[in-house]
Structure 1
């Protein structure tokens, strides 16, 4: 064990994950709405600003970080050796990257004529393969489970072969960019490696956050083109700041839940508030050099986002786990325990509606009505996941 973490279920982590998923669905649907305030949209790359919409992705990264110490301890407590633990981490990373690459190629750059099928049908077959591979099966026959997963893998391989992109239809399935899930996968992998190398030591994790920011600075410096190593670093700066956010989540988990440190509740909150203040100040100091930009994954954006996430979680932990005001979190629990399925459901529906030529009225994407519709849609998706959980449909990487 790297850390002596509490074995109790932390409801506030689940609630934070569930709330983030709800907001993610809401803002994704809201992206197509016209006539809404600027603060409800993603900021342009060069705006030197951010809204709550630009915090959804870093909130996912932060929660991934909060879960890593618990996940590592859980695997080790079940008897995994170091090699088995690394394989588990690697397979999860590969799964996230594969999902990200497929989803990105379904968003644009495809050539339906060269593929011989619509992108909507291709996408639905892809999601069918995803469910076959990563569904948590409850029946006992391992042979049937393996067969279903092999079918899913074969389906993805066939779809990868079928895929054609570009105007001439000669481009194959490629990482145009890694996609949200792929970026989470890379940050998860790097953070897991660092967490283990640093033996889960809080101070070392905080130092690693600083190293990630320095890596970004080096990659964006005037020397970035001076050598092949520097050019490589220039291309990895986004991964560095994403990893910094994950490491911030790890740090907050250790501040609150590492029982080796005999801290009172007030001391734990003071640690987190101090940590949040420090990274806010760091972001402020760096802002003259690096503008706030989600698109460019700047240190200011990552540090401000991690600071807000730290404070939001501290409030949720106080409200839910300490004050026991938790009955309202039941709505979020199914999505929080089934985040991958919840994430892909809107994409499945989009592909299905496109295949069936179903379109919502234009009124749903205008002004106040569009905002209300986006909120109803997000709540409906969350409720739909509750039904899927009752049907024993759950995805797990």
Structure 2
């Protein structure tokens, strides 16, 4: 994900401002919680609120709020990354090229993870888990942030080319077996979380960048997005379900709505637009008012249902309001009061998010390739299972910390 930095302060000067710690902390906490709940999903015998709420039930749990938090923080990074990129290179053509490539990269990674267990070993001539490891290895080689010594440019270029060739080869050989016995290529029906983030990133940029100079644009975009989401949930508009994400990347508008709320929140606290809220008090009051409006709107739209699976506007807006409140609290603690030592454990996940995201999957694929089942058959019930999820989360974060310390980092 894009690094969070303050952009230029005026049109005439380009000043690199201090890093906004609360954005990295929020991102890190979200990543850590995602690892935990994904591991917890295989644990049985816990209260219902430890799992995703069923699609037919009007309810949401804290688990249903993790993905929206990712969308929200993705949106928060967009204005900062845009300002930084344009300050270095004012070409809008290259900016849009970067946006399209980044969206495509997230989609490619999502398709690898979504198809990792679907490959037919008889057709791809290797276990699906090995295929997934090789495909992700190619991605890591291609998107790794390498040091840039003058003498090592040839090696870096060779590693990137090798990674790209490996990814292409894995996609080329992939085959899965359909229910009727026929063979098929990569399934694109569900692009996994990373692919959904890629679509949300693209659609948010499509709305934000052309209108970014208008103070209230990012807030006003939330009105048509919420309306569209509500009409889709009420089944007054049906075409997004029929044409799919690849023809209509907005889907029913819910993911773009959450990401755009992150964009709006970012303009309050950081970047060029934050000059309209010059004091800490004004920023916090604006954020609290914004959160209150979204929570009230969520309550008013309750008749349309509360569901992550159905991506209803009530679910979207409750998640938005909660994310605004949480970020405001973190901003007060980390950036105003300067209390950051408590959040040291979030730094690897906050600064090296993409690699941290892939580590659990690489672990699962590795133990599956080695036919190790112990981790899934032990501590799989009740509080021992919760303890297992906590230990596993700490294990992944520790690995991410070591890799980050050795400057092994991914960036799209």
Whole-angstrom CA distance in 2 between matches of 1:239 and 1:340:
26
What's 1:146 paired with? 157
Whole-angstrom CA distance in 2 between matches of 1:236 and 1:84:
21
User: Structure 2 matches for 1:29-44, cutoff 5 A?
Assistant: 29-44=39-54
1:101 maps to which of 105, 111, 122: 111
2:200 maps to which of 179, 187, 203: 187
**Structure 1: gaps (5+ residues):** none
Question: In the TM superposition, what is the alpha-carbon distance from 1:81 to its structure 2 partner?
Answer: 1.3
Where 1:138 maps in the other structure, the secondary structure is: coil
What's 1:59 paired with? 69
What's 1:384 paired with? 399
Q: Is the 8 A contact 1:132 1:148 kept in 2?
A: yes
Question: In the TM superposition, what is the alpha-carbon distance from 1:9 to its structure 2 partner?
Answer: 0.5
- Distance 1:365-1:164 versus aligned 2 partners, 3 A rule: same
Whole-angstrom CA distance in 2 between matches of 1:200 and 1:56:
30
Question: In the TM superposition, what is the alpha-carbon distance from 1:51 to its structure 2 partner?
Answer: 0.8
Whole-angstrom CA distance in 1 between matches of 2:249 and 2:198:
14
Where 2:46 maps in the other structure, the secondary structure is: coil
Whole-angstrom CA distance in 2 between matches of 1:230 and 1:20:
29
What's 1:395 paired with? 410
What's 1:265 paired with? 280
2:33 maps to which of 18, 23, 29: 23
User: Structure 2 matches for 1:352-367, cutoff 5 A?
Assistant: 352-361=366-375, 362-367=377-382
Deviating more after overlay: 275-284 vs 135-144: 135-144
Whole-angstrom CA distance in 2 between matches of 1:60 and 1:12:
14
What's 1:11 paired with? 21
Q: Is the 8 A contact 2:68 2:255 kept in 1?
A: yes
What's 2:142 paired with? 133
Question: In the TM superposition, what is the alpha-carbon distance from 1:169 to its structure 2 partner?
Answer: 4.9
- Distance 1:363-1:7 versus aligned 2 partners, 3 A rule: same
1:89 aligns with 2:99: yes
Q: Is the 8 A contact 1:114 1:169 kept in 2?
A: no
Question: In the TM superposition, what is the alpha-carbon distance from 1:33 to its structure 2 partner?
Answer: 0.2
Where 1:364 maps in the other structure, the secondary structure is: coil
Deviations 1:54-113 (A, max 9, x none): 111000000011111110011011124111111111111110011111111114x33222
Whole-angstrom CA distance in 2 between matches of 1:319 and 1:229:
41
What's 2:126 paired with? 117
What's 2:187 paired with? 174
Counting matched residue pairs gives 393
**Structure 2: gaps (5+ residues):** 1-6
Question: In the TM superposition, what is the alpha-carbon distance from 1:218 to its structure 2 partner?
Answer: 3.9
1:160 maps to which of 158, 171, 179: 171
- Distance 1:298-1:229 versus aligned 2 partners, 3 A rule: closer
1:72 aligns with 2:89: no
Where 1:365 maps in the other structure, the secondary structure is: coil
Deviations 1:10-54 (A, max 9, x none): 101100000001100000000000111111111111111111111
Question: In the TM superposition, what is the alpha-carbon distance from 1:263 to its structure 2 partner?
Answer: 3.2
2:264 maps to which of 246, 251, 266: 251
- Distance 1:229-1:187 versus aligned 2 partners, 3 A rule: closer
Question: In the TM superposition, what is the alpha-carbon distance from 1:219 to its structure 2 partner?
Answer: 3.8
Question: In the TM superposition, what is the alpha-carbon distance from 1:386 to its structure 2 partner?
Answer: 0.9
Compute the TM-score of the two structures, normalised by the length of structure 1.
0.93
- Cα RMSD over matched residues? 2.2
- Distance 1:222-1:314 versus aligned 2 partners, 3 A rule: closer
Whole-angstrom CA distance in 2 between matches of 1:70 and 1:179:
26
Whole-angstrom CA distance in 2 between matches of 1:105 and 1:272:
40
What's 2:229 paired with? 216
- Distance 1:216-1:236 versus aligned 2 partners, 3 A rule: farther
What's 1:281 paired with? 296
Question: In the TM superposition, what is the alpha-carbon distance from 1:6 to its structure 2 partner?
Answer: 8.0
1:326 maps to which of 331, 334, 340: 340
Deviations 1:234-291 (A, max 9, x none): 9766451101101111111111223421432222111111111111111111110x21
